[in-house]
């Protein structure tokens, strides 16, 4: 009997596998064709690429050795970028954490609420953080404040999505068992869901903070404060040796954060 069921299901699985393979083949062919179509439409001047490499090599000779003269200003700007990333990310974690539970399909009070919150998250996530920074600069002026708002909004879009997905992966039996005991919605979240998904949520928070550090260095280039402004200022004045020092500081800051966050994620995996 069991063998007959497997025999009946096998052709269906085979057809489904063949359908998926054909679909992936079509996607691959379309990607290749669109790639060559884009090359032909973009009118890329490969001669400029060769001259650009030579110009870049000449610029490197001007950048070395780096100019450490303004190290106080550069380190202060780096600290400001770090502060912008921390404040924006923490605010996003708080808001994303609060909105993720009604956004999750297994905990939402109504399907419409889940749909609206996920739609909001998709909307703010579709707009790059740099665009949000430009919008907030117009609204509140230049400085670190629009950078904080831009990082917060951009991070909220991602965190609502990934937090809600982690919550939706909770075993239904846990929620049903607590509902059977008469626990209310808030008690189910605090006593049943959060202990189950806390490790996953912390890992997502660390991952998002890594991205926010990188984005905070870029936002300064458009006037949102931080070390990005120092880099753009040095480049506009053709002080490439100063720009090289700023780039070194950015690399050390981003690398250090990623190194520490990777250690934290490894510890979370073993808890």
Q: Are residues 161 and 118 in the same domain?
A: yes
Q: Are residues 78 and 167 in the same domain?
A: yes
Q: Which of 85, 116, 86, 84 is nearest to 99 (CA)?
A: 116
Q: Are residues 261 and 135 in the same domain?
A: yes
Q: Are residues 147 and 29 in the same domain?
A: no
Tell me how many degrees the CA angle 254-66-218 measures, rounded to the nearest 5.
35
Q: Are residues 110 and 29 in the same domain?
A: no
Q: Are residues 129 and 165 in the same domain?
A: yes
Which H or E run includes 244? helix 240-269
Q: Are residues 37 and 160 in the same domain?
A: no
Q: Are residues 182 and 263 in the same domain?
A: yes
Q: Is residue 212 part of a domain?
A: yes
What's residue 130's pLDDT?
Answer: 87
pLDDT tens digit sequence for 130-158 = 888 888 888 888 888 888 999 999 899 99
Q: Is residue 56 part of a domain?
A: no
User: What is the phi-psi region of residue 45: left when phi exceeds 0, alpha when psi lies from -120 to 50, beta otherwise?
Assistant: beta
- Torsions phi, psi of 186, nearest 5? -65, -40
Q: How far apart are CA 219 and CA 229, in angstroms?
A: 8
Q: How far apart are CA 171 and CA 83, in angstroms?
A: 38
Q: Are residues 200 and 262 in the same domain?
A: yes
Per-residue pLDDT at 160 exceeds 90 = yes
What's residue 5's pLDDT?
Answer: 45
Q: Is residue 52 part of a domain?
A: no
Q: Is residue 113 part of a domain?
A: yes
Which H or E run includes 168? helix 144-168
How many domains does the chain divide into?
2
Helical segments of 169-239, H only: 172-180, 185-187, 194-219, 227-236
Average the pLDDT over each of 7-21, 46-60, 193-207 and give the range with the smallest value.
Answer: 7-21
Q: How far apart are CA 218 and CA 221, in angstroms?
A: 6
Residue 11, domain extent: 2-44
Q: Are residues 21 and 92 in the same domain?
A: no
Q: Are residues 40 and 135 in the same domain?
A: no
Q: How far apart are CA 157 and CA 88, in angstroms?
A: 13
* pTM passes above 0.85: no
Q: Is residue 53 part of a domain?
A: no
Task: Grade residue 1 by pLDDT with cuts at 50, 70 and 90.
Answer: very low
3-class DSSP assignment, residue 223: coil
Per-residue pLDDT at 30 exceeds 90 = yes
Average the pLDDT over each of 4-13, 116-125, 163-172, 225-234 and give the range with the smallest value.
Answer: 4-13
């Amino acid at each position: 009997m069991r063998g007959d069921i497997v025999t009946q299901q096998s052709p269906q699985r085979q057809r489904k596998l063949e359908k998926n393979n054909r679909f992936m083949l079509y996607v691959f062919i379309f990607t290749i064709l669109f790639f060559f179509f884009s090359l032909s439409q973009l009118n890329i001047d490969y001669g400029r690429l060769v001259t650009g490499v030579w110009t870049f090599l000449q610029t490197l000779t001007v950048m070395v050795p780096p100019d450490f003269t303004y190290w106080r200003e550069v380190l202060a700007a780096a600290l400001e970028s770090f502060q912008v990333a921390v404040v924006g990310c923490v605010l996003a974690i708080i808001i994303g954490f609060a909105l993720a539970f009604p956004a999750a399909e297994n905990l939402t009070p109504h399907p419409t609420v889940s749909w609206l919150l996920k739609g909001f998250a998709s909307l703010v996530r579709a707009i790059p953080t740099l665009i949000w920074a430009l919008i907030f600069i117009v609204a509140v002026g230049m400085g670190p404040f629009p950078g904080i708002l831009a990082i917060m909004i951009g991070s909220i879009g991602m965190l609502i999505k990934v937090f809600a997905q982690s919550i939706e992966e909770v075993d239904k039996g846990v929620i049903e068992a607590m509902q059977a005991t008469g626990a209310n919605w808030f008690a189910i979240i605090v006593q049943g869901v959060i202990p189950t998904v806390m490790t996953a949520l912390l890992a997502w928070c660390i991952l998002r903070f890594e991205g926010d550090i990188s984005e905070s260095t870029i936002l300064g280039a458009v006037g949102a404060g931080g070390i990005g402004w120092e880099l753009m200022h040095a480049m506009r004045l053709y002080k490439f040796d100063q720009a090289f020092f700023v780039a070194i500081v950015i690399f050390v800051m981003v690398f250090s954060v990623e190194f520490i966050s990777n250690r934290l994620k490894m510890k979370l995996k073993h808890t």
